[in-house]
Every structure is written in structure tokens, then in C-alpha cells.
């Protein structure tokens, strides 16, 4: 309870020195800053999700391409020099 009274007393002293308008302006700017950080954090989480989805599909594509190349190589005949022969 005493801590609240001290904080309230401190707040009153700050308002005397700085003024109510300045305190409100500071609180508004702090609120705007925190809102902006929250928005940035949300956007970065969305971008991270999109990057993970892109990475997942790239891996699927690479696996499918690799499987296709293995299948194609298994159907072709190569000579001793690595060229395709009939």
C-alpha cells in the first residue's frame, strides 16, 4: 500500500514539474510506440509463417525433381563415357 502511495506521490511531483499535458502526450506516444511494436511483431510472425510455407514447398519440389531425375536415369542407357546410348 505504501508503494502505491509513493508512486502516486512521485506521479504528482512529475506532473507538477512537467505538466499534465506533457505527461499525457508522453503516455500517448508510448502507447503509439507499443502499438507499432505489436503490429511489427505480428507482421514478422506472418512473414515467418510465409517463409516456412515457401521453404516447405521448395523442399517438396526438390524431392519431386530428384525422384523424377532418378526415374529418368533408370530408364536411359548410358555408355562407358556417360553418354546416352540406344
The dihedral through the CA atoms of 47, 49, 55, 58 has a sign that is negative
- Tell whether pTM > 0.85: no
Q: How far apart are CA 71 and CA 60, in angstroms?
A: 16
Task: Judge whether residue 77 has pLDDT over 50.
Answer: yes
**pLDDT over threshold 80, residue 5:** no
Q: Pick left, alpha or beta for residue 83 (phi over 0 → left; psi -120 to 50 → alpha; otherwise beta).
A: beta
Q: 60: which 3 cell numbers? A: 517438396
CB 86 within 8 A of CB 77: yes
Helix, coil or strand: residue 79: coil
Amino acid at each position: 500500500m505504501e508503494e502505491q502511495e509513493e508512486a502516486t506521490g512521485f506521479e504528482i511531483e512529475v506532473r507538477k514539474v512537467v505538466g499534465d499535458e506533457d505527461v499525457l502526450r508522453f503516455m500517448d506516444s508510448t502507447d503509439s510506440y507499443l502499438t507499432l511494436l505489436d503490429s511489427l511483431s505480428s507482421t514478422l510472425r506472418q512473414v515467418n509463417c510465409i517463409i516456412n510455407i515457401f521453404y516447405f514447398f521448395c523442399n517438396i519440389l526438390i524431392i519431386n525433381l530428384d525422384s523424377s531425375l532418378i526415374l529418368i536415369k533408370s530408364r536411359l542407357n548410358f555408355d562407358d563415357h556417360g553418354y546416352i546410348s540406344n
